[in-house]
Every structure is written in structure tokens, then in C-alpha cells.
Structure 1
Amino acid sequence: MKRRHFLALSIATASGLTAGCKGIGPITDRWLEDSKYDETLSAFLITQDGKKLVVLGKQYHYIFDMPPQLRAVMTAPYRQKLDTEFIGFEAQGDTISGRYRMTLSRADAPPDSDARARALADGFKDEGHRLTERGTISGTRYLPSNLDGAQIPQAFNSAYRVDVTEKPSAVGKAIKLALSPVAVAADGGLAVMQLALFPIGFPILLIAMQRSASSGGSMHPAKTEGNGDSR
């Protein structure tokens, strides 16, 4: 009798726990769902050694490893003709990654031109009406540091924004981001890890995507006017 009573009690307890888990399920599912945040971008800079791309946002600072393909275009004769977009950005914890596509039209790189030959040598693919180069970029996300008094170059004439997908971290693990290493140098410029930062002119790297209110919030490549690079 005692054994039967014990088994019945065990089954009832297990059933109660199962019911409790079912009640928790939807909350856990919500914890594991992707979310998005809207980032306002203000400056795009490159370290003096050309190895890091630094993007200053209103919510976060981002430091990316500069892909060799992107470094190659910095001194390319066709760089001012590029239409470059970065898409599909995803952040998880302190990491962030995305994809890029650089496009050079046939008109800007006609057959037998030096620009076309250089672009093909830099890894661009010939798609007939245009040359393209695709790749990925990844880096680290930081909490913004205090840059009061810094001479931050204004890359845009108006606010530009990009959507970032926030991937959930491990359940029960709080996201802890480090403070951005971007600091104000003695001359009022910016530096990171003792390396001076220089602004990247557009349209060399057209990273920002402008939200168009007239198109129901869809994303369109941002256009800049007359901003060259300082390098």
C-alpha cells in the first residue's frame, strides 16, 4: 500500500512539474526570439594601418576587421565610383557580423579600361553589365565611450540609420559589453588602441541605409553629396 501511494504521489508530482514547464514555455520562447534595433550612424573611420574599420553609432560603437578586399579599394582609381552596401547585420553579445556588396557599373569601368583591369585584379567578378565583389565582415560591439571635445567628421548631411538583428544570448546569461576603446587624442582627433583614426569618404564605403518614410519604412541606400576621403 505504501508503495502504491508513493508511486501515485510521484506521478502526480511529475505531472505538476510538467504542467509548470508548459506554462513557462512561451516565456522562454520569447527570450529566444530575435529582435531588432535601429542604429543611427554618425561616422566611419579607418585606423592608420588600414586594418580596422570603426563605425560610431548612437547606441554602440563597432570595430570591424577590415577585409582585404575592402582595403584594396582604398587606393583604387575606381573607388569614387563604387556603390557599396552592407546588409544583413546580426549582433549577438559583443559580436556583430554582416555582408557587403560592392558594385562598379560598366559605364564606370568600360572594357579595356585601367579601372576595369584593376577591379578584376582586386577580385571583382564580371557580371556583364557590372562588376561585383561580395563578402562578409565581422567585429566587436562596444558601449559608446565619452567623446566630448572630439573633432568627429560629419559623414552625412542628415541622420542615417541601419537595422540590426539582435540574436539571443544563452539563457540566463546577461549581455555585458565593454566600453569602446575609441578615445580623444591630444590633437582633438580620434584614436583607437594608440592608432589614429581617419574618416572614410563616401561613396567609397556606403554602409548606411536610409529609411524612406514614403516607402513604408523600407531601406534604401543612402546617398552622400561631395564627401571625399581624407586619405
Structure 2
Amino acid sequence: MSDGHPLLQRRQLLLSLAAAGVLAACATAQPEPLVLKTYHETLSSLLLSQDRQHLVVIGEHHHYIFDTPQALVAALESPLHARMEGELGRFTVSADGRTEGDYALILPSGLDDADRAQALAMGFQADPTEPGRLRLTGHVGGQRYLQGTVKANRIRTTLNHPYTVEIQAEQPRSEQVANALVSPVSTAANGVTLLYYVVLAPILVPFALISRERAK
């Protein structure tokens, strides 16, 4: 069969048209438009996994699971942790549920020389907002999940009262991606809170100020 055979020519023409159609579709396809939504989440618990790998924030509507920064783990496990207070800044959530935010741990003024040296070795620096205080700042990244079957009021609170934070989230207009993931946090029969099969324990740091917005 030669290249000039009508059937072969027709087949080649159809393949060329199909390829052109795919290229045209790729060229004209636009990403699904995103909506920037600001909402408020009431936080009731901050939990750390027993293996120190994950920081879990329990909200009224969502759970937020972050990879734990090693600097935060070191600070929480130090002898100074009982004197620390904490801050969490505004969260931002991308269309695929990726969640990021900033945190700070604060030590009061009046530390003796040994404690101050230990704090500086862990990365604390002079707090520019108040003379004498020390501050350790950092960034957390993780994932937002739908609350699932574990309600916020079923988990032991680690805060002196719930706090409301402002969260800025991107989401597709269909919300299919934003609402696709259900929380892996669960409660065992004995009441222990789990992340998959890893035990979660309350963070023993009073997060007296949860967001910058609340401070205003």
C-alpha cells in the first residue's frame, strides 16, 4: 500500500485534525477561577503527635495538620517551656488545601544568665516589641481537612478559652478540591485522640494570644 492510497491519506488527515483539536483545546483552556474567601475559625485545641512529627490545630469546622518545625519541638521539650507563651498568626489556605502560617514562642523578661543563654542557643532573639523579652518565630506548613466525626468539643482543650482566628483561603468556585479531604484525626475507645495510629497530646504552652487580628 503506497503513501498515496486514499484510505491512508484520509486516516492521516483525521489524525492531524484530532491533534490540532487537542492543541487548540490546551491553548484555549483556562484554569478554573479561584475565589479568595476570608472566614473565621474558632480554635479550641493545639496537639502534638507523640512522635513529634505533626502539630494539630483543632477548629470548629476544620482540622489543620502541620509538619512540626524542629525548633518548635526543641523549645517545647526544653526546661524553659513552662515559662513560654505562644502566638499563631493568620493562616492562608491554597486551593488544594495547603495551609501555612507563622507562630511565635515568647519568654518573659527577667531570665537569669543561664536560662537566657539556653534560650539564645535554641534560636530565641530579643523581642522588638518589649524590652527584655525573648521571641522565637517560625513558619508552619501543612494541610486543611474537613472536621469529620471528631468534634472540637470532644477533644481536651489546651487553651484557656477558644479563640477566633481569621483565615484567608483560595478555593475553586466548585469547591470540589477545597472540601475533598476528611480529617485523619480520630478518638479511640478509651478517649485518646489519634492522628492515624499516633497518639496526640496537648501542648503545654499557654497560647494566650492566637492571632494578630485579636490583638487589635
Which TM class, normalised by the smaller chain length?
A: 0.7 to 0.9
- What secondary structure, in the 3-state scheme, does the structure 2 residue paired with 1:49 have? coil
- What secondary structure, in the 3-state scheme, does the structure 1 residue paired with 2:116 have? helix
Unmatched 5+ stretches in structure 2 = 1-31
Distance in 2, Cα, partners of 1:104 & 1:60: 30
Aligned amino acid, residue 167 of structure 1: E
Aligned amino acid, residue 36 of structure 1: T
> Cα–Cα, structure 1 residues 47 and 106, in superposed 2: closer, same or farther, change >3 Å?
same
Structure 1 range deviating more: 127-136 or 70-79: 127-136
Count of paired positions: 179
Instruction: Let me know the Cα RMSD of the aligned residues.
Output: 2.7
Query: Over residues 139-177 of structure 1, what are the superposed CA-to-partner deviations in whole Å (9 max), with x where a residue is unaligned?
Result: 1110112137x95212345432111011245x7773242
Cα pair 2:86 2:205 within 8 Å, conserved: no
> Cα–Cα, structure 1 residues 126 and 42, in superposed 2: closer, same or farther, change >3 Å?
closer
Residue identity over aligned pairs, in percent, reads 31
| One of 55, 59, 73 as aligned partner of 2:61 | 59
1:69 aligns with 2:64: no
Aligned amino acid, residue 44 of structure 2: S
Residue 118 of structure 1 corresponds to 118
Distance in 2, Cα, partners of 1:206 & 1:64: 20
Distance in 2, Cα, partners of 1:159 & 1:104: 22
1:174 aligns with 2:176: yes
Distance in 1, Cα, partners of 2:155 & 2:104: 27
Cα pair 2:123 2:136 within 8 Å, conserved: yes
Cα pair 1:35 1:167 within 8 Å, conserved: yes
Cα pair 1:38 1:161 within 8 Å, conserved: yes
Query: Over residues 13-32 of structure 1, what are the superposed CA-to-partner deviations in whole Å (9 max), with x where a residue is unaligned?
Result: xxxxxxxxxxxxxxx9xx64
- What secondary structure, in the 3-state scheme, does the structure 2 residue paired with 1:201 have? coil
- What secondary structure, in the 3-state scheme, does the structure 2 residue paired with 1:219 have? helix
- What secondary structure, in the 3-state scheme, does the structure 2 residue paired with 1:187 have? coil
Distance in 2, Cα, partners of 1:60 & 1:144: 5
Cα pair 1:96 1:141 within 8 Å, conserved: yes
Shift of 1:74: 1.5
Shift of 1:207: 6.4
- What secondary structure, in the 3-state scheme, does the structure 1 residue paired with 2:182 have? coil
If asked which structure has higher relative contact order (CA below 8 Å, sep 6+), I would say 2
> Cα–Cα, structure 1 residues 152 and 140, in superposed 2: closer, same or farther, change >3 Å?
same
Unmatched 5+ stretches in structure 1 = 1-27, 211-217, 222-231
Aligned amino acid, residue 73 of structure 1: A
| One of 177, 194, 198 as aligned partner of 1:195 | 198
Residue 25 of structure 2 corresponds to none
Distance in 1, Cα, partners of 2:54 & 2:211: 21
Equivalent runs, 1:118-157 vs 2, <5 Å: 118-126=118-126, 129-147=132-150, 152-157=155-160
Equivalent runs, 1:23-38 vs 2, <5 Å: 32=34, 34-38=36-40
Query: Over residues 161-209 of structure 1, what are the superposed CA-to-partner deviations in whole Å (9 max), with x where a residue is unaligned?
Result: 111011245x777324211011111322111121011111232x55634
Q: TM-score, normalised by structure 1?
A: 0.68
Residue 89 of structure 1 corresponds to 91
